[in-house]
Structure 1
Amino acid sequence: MSLYQFMTPIKRKKPADENQDPLQSSKKAKPGDSVSKRKQACAYRHEWAQGRETWLYYRQDEGMYCKLCQKYNKRPFDRDTWNKTPCRRLRLGSVKEHEQSAGHLDALKLELLSTTSHNIAEVIQPEVGHDAIVSAFKCLYFLAKRRIPHVANFEPLLDLLTQLGLTVKDDLHVAKNATYCSDHSVREMLHFLSSTMEDDTIQRVQKSDFFSIMLDETTDVSVEEQLTLNCRFLDESGQLSVKFLKIIQPLNLKSNDEPNHLPTVSLNAETIARHVTSYFAEYGLNFDNLVGIGTDGAAVMTGNTMVS
C-alpha cells in the first residue's frame, strides 16, 4: 500500500438538505417504483404530531414548522428551516433530527421554564391563617344575614375592623396578588357558605318524619324569573323549624332526565313541578314525608300538575 493512498482525501457524503425535494434527489428510483408511490412516501403524516402537538405543525403545500423555534427565534443548525422557512423534507427522520437539535432543545427548556413559573404563580399561594379565614366568613355571613350588599361592602367592613384595632384585613393580605378581598373571592366564600348551610338543612329535613315546602315566584334585578324554595319540618327536639333551601333559576337549568331538553321559556306549572321533583331527587328527599305545600294561591302554583 503506497503513501499516496493515505494522502488522497476521502470523499464524504454531504448532509441532506432539509429543504431538498426528495423527488429531485440524485438517488435513482427503482425500476418498479411508480411516481405515485414515491409521492406517497414523502407525504406528511398526522401521526407524526402525536406527542409533539406543542411544537410541530404542518401547512399544506408549504411544509413543517416548529412553534417553539418560532416563538423563541431559534435557528437549529444555523439555518432558518423550521423557523422562518418550512422543512420540505417530509420524513419522520427529519422530525426526529430537529427534535434532538440543540436549538430546539433550548427552545423547549425556555417553554418549560415559562410554563412552570406561570403555574407556580397561579397555584402556589401563601397560606392564610385559620383565624383570618374564620373572621372573613363571619363578616360575610353578617352582611348576607342582614341583606346588605356583600360584594360592595365586604372590604369596607374589613376597613372598619382595622380602625377598631383588629387585623383581619392585614391577615388576609398575605401577598401582593393574594388579598382574598376581591369580588371573585367574596363570591367563592358566599358559595361555600350557602352550600354548607343548605347541606346542613337538608340533613335535618331528611331526619324529620314530616316536612312541608313553600314555593314562591320572584325576579332578580335583571327581571329574570326565579323560584324560591323554603321548608318547614320538625327538628330533633320536636320543635317546628322554618328554613330557606334554595333559589332555583329554571331559565338556566336543564332537566337531568332529559339531556336534550331546552331551557325553560317561562315558569309554568310543568316547569315548577319538574324542577322541584329534580331537586328532591338530587338531595334524596322523600315525597312520602311531604305533608303540605304552601303557595301564594296563584293558579300556576295550585294546578293539578303540581300535586299529582
Structure 2
Amino acid sequence: MAQVTLQSLWKKTSKRPRDHDETETESDKDNSEQRTKKRRTTTQYPKCFQQKWLLEFEWLKKDDSRGMFCEVCTGMAHCKTSPFSVGSKNFQRSALVRHQMSKDHIISMQAKRQQNYMDAAKTCVKKKYLPILEAQLKTALFLAKENIANRKFLSLIDLQISNGSTVFQKASSAGQSSATTSMSSRGIYTNHQAPADMQKALADVLREMTIVRVKESPFVGIMVDESMDIATDKKLIMFCKIVYGGQIKIEFCANVTVPDGKADTIYNSIVNWMNSVGITFKNISGFGSDGASVMTGRLSGVGVKLREQNPRIIHIWCAAHRLALVSHWAAKKVPYLGRVQEMLVAIYFFYEFSAPRYNKIKELKKNHEGKSEKI
C-alpha cells in the first residue's frame, strides 16, 4: 500500500514540471512575437531630429540638405574627416555626445574661444586708441605735404595739446586711468622712426589706390621725364593720364632709379613697371616726353620702341618743353632780348649776397611810395 502511494506521488510530481515547461515555452513565444513587432515599428518609423537638441548643444545647427552639423568645427582644417563638419543624418543623441567629447571638437572650441578674445581686444583698441592713431597719421601726412622734417613730429603734437586738442586729452586720461597702458599724452608711437613708418604706410596705400585706378581705365597715357635727386641719383619720373569716373585725371605712378639715360634703359624701366602693376600694351594709347633725341629718335627712340609693341600709341612732344625751346631760340634771334637777359642776370648777382645794396634798393622803392617786397 505504501509503495502504491509513493508511485502515485512520483507520477504526479513528474507531470508538474512538464506542464511548467510547456507554459514557459508559450510565454517565450509571446515575447519573441512582441520583439519582432517592436523591430517592425522601429524600421517603419525612423528616428528624426529633436528640436530640444538645439538648446542642449549650443554648437549644433540643422540644415535640410546637410542634416545636423557643428558650427564650430565647420571650416576647421583638423576636422575635415569629422561627419559633423560636413553634415550628419545620424539623428541620435549619443552621436552628439560623442562629438562633443571628441578631441577635434575640444580643440575647435578652444580656437573659437581665443578668436573671441582677439575680436574683443580689437574692438577695445579700435574704440579707445583709433582716434589718436588717426591724429598721429594726419600729423605725419602734414609733415610730408609741407616738406617739414620728421623730427618736428612730437613738437607738432605738443602744439596740438597746448591748443586744447580733445583727441590727445582723451588719450592722456585713458593712459592715466589704466595701469597697464604705457601710452603717454602724445600717443602710442612716439619714437623718432614713427613718422617715417607712418608716411611709408600711407604711401603704400596711395600707391595701391593709384594702381587700381590706372588698371580700371580703358585708356592709359604714359608721361616720363628724367631728373636728378639731391643724392645725385638719376631718376625717371612716370605719370599716367587716365579716364576714371568719366573724368580725365593725371596720376603720379613711379619714381624709378635708372643708371643712365639711354633709350634701352628708359624703355626697360617702363616695361618693368608695367609688368609689376599688371598693365598691358593694349591699354596704352599715348606716350609723352620732353622731346629729347633719346625719346623722339626715329630709329631707336623710346617712342619707336613702344610703338613696336602697340602701333596705335601716339607719341606727343610736351607742349611746355616745346614752348621753352621756342622762347629760348627766339630770344637768340633778337639781340635786344639777349641784352635784357644779361642785364637782369647782372642785377640779380649784384644784389644777391650784399645786405647794404639790398637795403638801398628797398629804400629806393619806399621813396617811390611803393610797397616793399622781396626781390
Please report the TM-score for the alignment, with normalisation by the length of structure 2: 0.40
Query: Larger RCO: Structure 1 or Structure 2 (Cα < 8 Å, ≥ 6 residues apart)?
Result: 1
Please report the TM-score for the alignment, with normalisation by the length of structure 1: 0.48
Q: Which has the larger radius of gyration?
A: 2
